């Protein structure tokens, strides 16, 4: 059968759309798999950093914080795995349909090919090709008969090749289908285990929350005291940043009341370089997970109360080194009674703050390079927690660290 031009164009469009759709499905599956592996890695780190040391006695609020985070990651992992399984189901159904259609086409091709072979055999027994040509009434008829024989032979060969190609494709699809079914079964089993673990975590979470609700005044008092201590350090950080801005402006002969740094050409260049690396800066610790993000968020024990986080809180491992996220200068080292040291680095008119350190490796005025160790994170001996509080400022204004640090 010969296709007309409109039919041929429609056929080409259908093939193109089918190929595009299949590629989109494949790309989506790759994205989901990458996200699933990322979440699995995060879950491993979470278990290692927050739940490995069971001998340490964390307070109830810390336990709820950690469990909240774990439940959130677990739910995301279940959702992504479920999305993958659903996408595989669609792929499996599409392949099963294509296999069924291919089998029908192959059956029809084989029937046509068999009929053609029989016809060819009968033709040979009744009249040889030479006699068929010689019996032509003129040269033109002989030429046409020769062309017919050639086309018939080519068509037989084409049919044979088509049967071979469709058979191979059918075998490939069957292999692919078997692999997809195995992958789906693996994902379904992973989700079954994850849902069981989530159920246990939610029960534990409810027990902890019941304990908190039974003595809400006590835990609210604990949170207020913790916030008060944090505010005391934050006020000192804000004061020293304002002092640094004022000193910069005074040196440049500008108003000391300005909230922005007066920059030298060198500082401008450094600030521009820092800005150019937005979203690509390294983590301030080599290994860690974000326990608290930037901005306002509801309190874990009282959803009506908002907690304003000025940076991010990163849980890391004991003895973790603190790294400069970019080259710059040590602007301040803050040591406050009854609090752990803080290091402030300056990068032109940008500042990065590293809070809750146990050791300091640098001095005020030192030049530092990207990823240079500047100290060590403090580990609470009672709870076993190792937490770094990290911030980014542009002049005196707070920035969301997630916009600056790669994959934060």
Mean pLDDT of 167-193: 81
pLDDT digits (tens, 9 = 90+) for 131-160: 555 566 676 766 665 666 566 666 666 666
Domain 5-214: assigned CATH number: 1.10.287
Q: Report how far residue 103's alpha carbon sits from residue 166's, in angstroms, rounded to the nearest whole number.
A: 9
Residue 94 has pLDDT above 60, yes or no: yes
Decide if 378 contacts 358 (C-beta within 8 A): yes
The CATH number corresponding to 232-403 among 3.90.1520.10, 2.70.70.10, 3.50.50.60, 1.20.1540.10 equals: 2.70.70.10
Q: Using 50, 70 and 90 to split pLDDT, how confident is the model at 177?
A: confident
Of the candidates 273, 237, 228, the residue with the CA atom closest to the CA atom of residue 352: 237
The DSSP secondary-structure symbol of 386 reads: B
Q: Report how far apart, in Å, the C-alpha atoms of 373 and of each of 23, 362, 386 are.
A: 45, 9, 17
pLDDT digits (tens, 9 = 90+) for 245-273: 998 888 888 877 788 898 889 999 999 99
Q: Report how far residue 206's alpha carbon sits from residue 199's, in angstroms, rounded to the nearest whole number.
A: 11
pLDDT attached to residue 56: 61
- Angle of helix 139-214 versus helix 216-251 axis, rounded to 10: 110
Q: Using 50, 70 and 90 to split pLDDT, how confident is the model at 404?
A: very high
Q: Using 50, 70 and 90 to split pLDDT, how confident is the model at 127?
A: very low
Q: Which segments of the chain belong to CATH 2.70.70.10?
A: 232-403
Q: Which segments of the chain belong to CATH 1.10.287?
A: 5-214
358 or 162: which leads in pLDDT: 358
* Helix/strand number for the chain, H first, E second: 6, 13
Round the average pLDDT of the chain to a whole number and report it: 82
Our CA dihedral for 315, 316, 319, 321, rounded to 10 degrees, sits at -110
Decide if 271 contacts 350 (C-beta within 8 A): yes
26 or 186: which leads in pLDDT: 186
pLDDT attached to residue 1: 45
Helix (H, G, I), strand (E, B) or coil at 128: coil
Q: Report how far apart, in Å, the C-alpha atoms of 371 and of each of 255, 285, 325, 365, 408 are.
A: 35, 9, 6, 17, 16
pLDDT attached to residue 280: 96
Mean pLDDT of 225-229: 83
234 or 143: which leads in pLDDT: 234
**What are the DSSP calls for 44-98, one per residue?**
HHHHHHHSS-TTS---HHHHHHHHHHHHHHHHHHHHHHHHHHHHHHHHHHHHHHH
pLDDT attached to residue 376: 97
Of the candidates 332, 333, 318, the residue with the CA atom closest to the CA atom of residue 381: 318
The model carries a pTM of 0.72
């Amino acid at each position: 059968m010969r296709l007309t031009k409109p039919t041929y164009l429609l056929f080409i469009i259908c093939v193109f759309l089918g190929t595009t759709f299949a590629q989109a499905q494949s790309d989506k599956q790759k994205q989901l798999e990458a996200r699933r592996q990322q979440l699995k890695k995060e879950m491993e780190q979470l278990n290692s950093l927050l739940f490995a040391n069971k001998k340490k006695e964390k307070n109830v609020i810390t336990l709820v914080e950690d469990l909240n985070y774990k439940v959130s990651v677990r739910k995301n992992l279940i959702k992504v795995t479920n999305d993958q399984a659903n996408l595989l189901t669609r792929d499996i159904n599409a392949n099963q349909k294509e296999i069924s259609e291919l089998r029908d086409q192959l059956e029809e091709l084989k029937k046509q090919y068999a009929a053609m072979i029989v016809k060819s055999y009968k033709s040979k027994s009744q009249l040889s090709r030479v006699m068929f040509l010689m019996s032509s009434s003129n040269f033109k008829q002989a030429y046409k008969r020769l062309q017919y024989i050639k086309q018939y032979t080519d068509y037989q060969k084409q049919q044979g090749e088509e049967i071979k190609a469709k058979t191979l494709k059918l075998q490939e699809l069957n292999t692919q289908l078997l692999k997809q079914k195995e992958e789906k079964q693996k994902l379904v089993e992973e989700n079954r285990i994850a849902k069981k673990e989530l159920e246990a975590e939610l029960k534990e979470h409810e027990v902890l929350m019941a304990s908190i609700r039974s003595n809400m005044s006590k835990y609210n008092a604990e949170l207020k005291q913790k916030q008060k201590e944090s505010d005391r350090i934050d006020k000192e950080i804000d004061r020293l940043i304002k002092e640094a801005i004022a000193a910069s402006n005074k040196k440049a002969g500008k108003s000391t009341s300005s909230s922005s740094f007066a920059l030298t050409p060198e500082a401008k260049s450094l600030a521009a370089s820092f800005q150019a690396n937005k979203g690509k800066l390294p983590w301030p610790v080599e290994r860690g997970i974000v326990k608290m993000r930037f901005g306002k968020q509801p309190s874990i024990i009282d959803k009506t109360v908002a907690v304003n986080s000025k940076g991010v809180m990163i849980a890391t491992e004991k003895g973790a080194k603190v790294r400069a996220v970019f080259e710059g200068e040590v602007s301040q080292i803050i040591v406050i009674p009854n609090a752990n040291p803080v290091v402030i680095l300056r990068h032109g008119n940008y500042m990065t703050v590293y809070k809750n350190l146990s050791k300091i490796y640098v001095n005020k005025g030192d030049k530092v390079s990207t990823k240079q160790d500047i100290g060590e994170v403090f580990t609470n001996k009672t709870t076993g927690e190792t937490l770094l509080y990290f911030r980014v400022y542009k002049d005196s204004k707070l920035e969301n660290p997630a916009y600056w640090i790669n994959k934060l």
